[in-house]
Amino acid sequence: MSYDFHLICEQDPRLGLLAKASAQFEDKFTLAPVEASEHLVLGFNGEDLALLNVPHRVPAGELGRIFGARAAAQLPQGGWVAEVNCPADKDTAEAVRQFLIIAVAGTRGLVIDPQSNELITADPGA
């Protein structure tokens, strides 16, 4: 079984957002490139947790069509969408989910469950 999330950010999350979140955990979370691709592997203490697919830019109207009006309203200029795949167990997926929530905290970023299209986190003060 695989556990997945959509990470939606104002800018490409490879440009510092994920590294900033990792720093909050004394850099125990790592982001390593997947050989011969632009994908990244999210790891913790040397163990691979999730695959972060290459983020792509999505206009606000398309965000609304795919993820709903709340996502489009939170990111009126559009956003960068990355699929995050956790091929391991539910506990690993929960750790990844928490990391993503911390990564988008204080930003307009979102974490969405692609099965239900539910916003897992949204910073209402952004």
Number of domains making up the chain: 1
pTM of the complete model? 0.86
In the predicted model, what is the mean pLDDT of residues 92-100?
A: 90
Q: Positive or negative, the Cα torsion across 17, 66, 114, 111?
A: positive
The Cα 25–Cα 19 span in angstroms is: 10
CATH of the domain at 15: 3.30.70.2920
Domain of residue 14: give its range.
Answer: 3-122
- CB burial readout 16-29, b (16+ within 10 A) else e: ebbeebbeeeeeeb
Q: What number of other Cβ atoms are within 10 A of residue 114's Cβ?
A: 13
> With 90 as the cut, is the pLDDT of residue 24 above it?
no
Averaged pLDDT, 101-107: 89
